[in-house]
Amino acid sequence: MTYWEQMTSARLATVDRSLPVILPLGAVEQHGPHLPLATDRILVDHFCQGIDRHLGDDVLILPTVSVGYSKHHDDFPGTLSLTHETLLRQIVQTADSALRHGMTSLLILNAHGGNEGIAQVALEQLGHSRPECKIVRTAWWQIASEALLAISTTGPGGVGHACELETSLLLAIAPHLVDESAIPPRENKSWFSWDTADMLRSGSAIIYRRFADVSSTGVFGDPQAASAEKGQQISEIVTQRLVDLVRSMTVR
């Protein structure tokens, strides 16, 4: 068994303590007019399922943190959000509970940009408090950013939120949840010449903006360039990179 919560206590007591443990982070928030609120949770669960298929009993997957930090999406209906403080406590306390059982490797796997800052703080807190453990953090778009840039056809500003990449993934893995008739055109408003960052490209500086200031539709980028075929490519590449990362964490 791979999923922590599906194991019996007796079974968990017998597992190798060097097995990598994954803590998935998702979100429940608007994803434009065409994608479900649970997009980020669906994606992180999908990638964990892929890791499970490849590694089986050689990995343990903790329950997904389904609601993340999404206050910047509050102008759009349906968004749920924890505070920064609550999210940090949930990540650290869940991870620490697992590590307290003697596990020695943890991967924090994120699927939502709004969780990134807190995920980094959690990494630093856990790494400092448990120097005997390997604590690692990544996001699905980070683990394969160069390969995803090669797949993307929308150029700078084309990927960010409910965009070419996320829409492609949902078309591949959960097409029944995509309202293709409502896919909007490209949108993302920049305020300054240096305000150019997107999901795969860093900018020279960052300014805080509510998402309604970025986009009237709740989309950042170009979802009209999405396809199920592209989504399948993304899924396979990201899953393999994650599998390779998790395998490397077992090396002593």
> What residues contact 47, with CB distance under 8 A and at least 6 apart?
24, 109, 111, 140, 235, 238, 239, 242
pLDDT, mean of residues 178-204:
91
Question: Would you say residue 104 has pLDDT above 80?
Answer: yes
**94 neighbors 65 (Cβ within 8 angstroms):** yes
User: Torsions phi, psi of 232, nearest 5?
Assistant: -65, -40
Say whether pLDDT at 127 is over 80.
Answer: yes
What pLDDT is attached to residue 112? 98
Residues 6+ apart with CB under 8 A from 61: 2, 3, 4, 21, 22, 24, 48, 51, 52
Dist. CA 177–CA 78, nearest whole Å? 15
The per-residue pLDDT for 189 is 84
CB 35 within 8 A of CB 43: no
> Which range among 67-81, 180-194, 211-225, 236-250 shows the weakest confidence by mean pLDDT?
180-194
**Residue 251 pLDDT grade (very low, low, confident, very high; cuts 50, 70, 90):** low
| Tens-place pLDDT, residues 43-70 | 999 999 999 999 999 999 999 999 999 9
**Are the C-beta atoms of residues 41 and 63 closer than 8 Å to each other?**
no
pLDDT, residue 14, reads 95
Contacts for 41 with CB less than 8 Å, ≥ 6 apart: 26, 27, 28, 64, 66, 111
Section 206-235 average pLDDT: 96
Place of tokens 């993307």: 152
Average pLDDT, the chain: 96
HSE toward the beta carbon, residue 215, CA cutoff 13 A: 26
Composition of the chain by helix, strand, coil, percent to 5? 45, 10, 45
Which is more confidently placed, 251 or 162?
162
Distance CA 84, CA 70 (A): 9
CA 93/CA 206 separation, integer angstroms: 29
State pTM to two decimals.
0.96
> What is the pLDDT at residue 1?
64
CA separation for the pair 163, 201 (Å, rounded)? 14
